[in-house]
């Protein structure tokens, strides 16, 4: 019998969340971001659920090739572009699109000795200061691409630094102004909006939107829940209680006795720990569901187990179902208690955890 912890992936939730994107950006094509094994949900499983998207965006060349081999004909964009000239052969052969964000990539493209049909997304560093050409460098980079016979279509793109923060609208305004100035009156496709900008800045939707976290049912906005946004969780991590301990006043729980009972109480031991992807730093009080009822994690998270307070759930025992996050227990709430983001929890799911649909 297999260990009871598993991640249930709900394809219908992915489809539903894609529809939410379209509701907010009805005139834009959707580039569904499925990097990091589709935020832990599984690359091909997620691509199948999001097959109505006009494009997919990811980082790994081998993952992009897998998508093509699986029959997906949409635009497939490599968000960090290519890392050496040898990869250009695969990009051309598999009809992939690539971001170009630094001069070395321009030089590698110019070294291509044959006419090709490469679609390029030229990235402007409009203020995030991560990837992209500065506004001063951008015009020359664009001209080099326009005269390169290896390049077919050019899309202009940037990425927002603070779209998720309601008190930083000035930052978005500045980045939009920077992008619009650099793009000028050029009649070229454009791509700017991540999940937060899809929801908050319709003026940034342009030709392509690039939703990521919202597709998986997690909120990209710091002060707005996924439920308030109408999003559905696509991943529910569940397990079961495998043992129950009865504590007396003062008894400690787990490594370091980081939690001590302040009364007589029962605790359940759940199959699930940091080697499965649950955050090791989740403190006592982190919310969790047992038999569909809210309770709290107590004590330090172990590699393979964690403890839950059963004081108010008298009928819980060995075999009782537990929801670590997902339906009924928002991943963002768990992440907030653990001092991190829903992104990290979803992406940190360990390979040993069974994923089912």
Active site residues: 35, 255
Q: How far is CA 282 from the centre of its chain?
A: 20
CB distance 265 to 271 below 8 Å: no
Q: In angstroms, rounded to a whole number, what is the distance separating the alpha carbons of residues 99 and 154? A: 10
CB distance 169 to 201 below 8 Å: no
DSSP string, 260-299: E-SSSEEEEEEE--GGGT--TTPPTT-EEEETTEEEEEES
Sign of CA dihedral 208, 212, 213, 215: positive
Number of Cβ within 10 Å of residue 293's Cβ equals: 13
Beta strands 265-271 and 305-309, pairing class: antiparallel
Q: What SS3 state is found at 224?
A: coil
Q: In angstroms, rounded to a whole number, what is the distance separating the alpha carbons of residues 119 and 152? A: 5
């Amino acid at each position: 019998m297999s260990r009871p912890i598993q991640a249930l992936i709900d394809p219908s939730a992915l489809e539903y969340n894609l529809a939410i994107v379209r509701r907010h950006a009805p005139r834009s094509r959707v580039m569904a971001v499925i990097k990091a094994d589709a935020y832990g949900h599984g690359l091909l499983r997620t691509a199948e659920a999001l097959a109505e998207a006009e494009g997919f965006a990811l980082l790994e060349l081998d993952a992009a090739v897998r998508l093509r081999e699986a029959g997906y004909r949409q635009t497939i964009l490599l968000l960090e572009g290519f890392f050496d000239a040898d990869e250009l052969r695969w990009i051309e052969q598999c009809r992939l699109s690539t971001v170009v964000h630094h001069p070395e990539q321009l030089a590698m493209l110019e070294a291509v000795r044959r006419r090709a049909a490469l679609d390029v997304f030229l990235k402007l560093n409009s203020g995030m200061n991560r990837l992209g050409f500065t506004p001063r460098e951008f015009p020359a980079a664009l001209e080099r691409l326009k005269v390169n016979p290896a390049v077919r279509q050019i899309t202009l793109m940037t990425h927002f630094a603070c779209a998720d923060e309601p008190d930083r609208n000035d930052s978005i305004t500045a980045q939009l102004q920077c992008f619009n100035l650099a793009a000028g009156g050029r009649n070229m496709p454009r791509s700017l909006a991540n999940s937060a900008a899809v929801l908050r800045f319709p003026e940034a939707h342009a030709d392509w939107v690039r939703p990521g976290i919202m597709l998986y049912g997690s909120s990209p906005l710091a002060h707005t829940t996924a439920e308030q946004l109408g999003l559905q969780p696509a991943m529910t991590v569940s397990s079961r209680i495998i043992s129950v301990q009865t504590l007396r006043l003062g008894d400690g729980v787990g490594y370091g006795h980081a939690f001590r009972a302040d009364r007589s109480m029962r605790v359940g031991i759940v199959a699930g720990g940091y080697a499965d992807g649950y955050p090791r730093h989740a403190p006592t009080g982190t919310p969790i569901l047992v038999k569909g009822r809210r309770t709290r994690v107590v004590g330090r998270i172990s590699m393979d187990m964690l403890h839950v307070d059963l004081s108010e759930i008298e009928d819980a025992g060995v075999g009782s179902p537990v929801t670590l996050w997902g339906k009924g227990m928002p991943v963002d709430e768990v992440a907030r208690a653990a001092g991190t983001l829903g992104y990290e929890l979803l992406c940190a799911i360990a390979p040993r955890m069974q994923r089912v649909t």
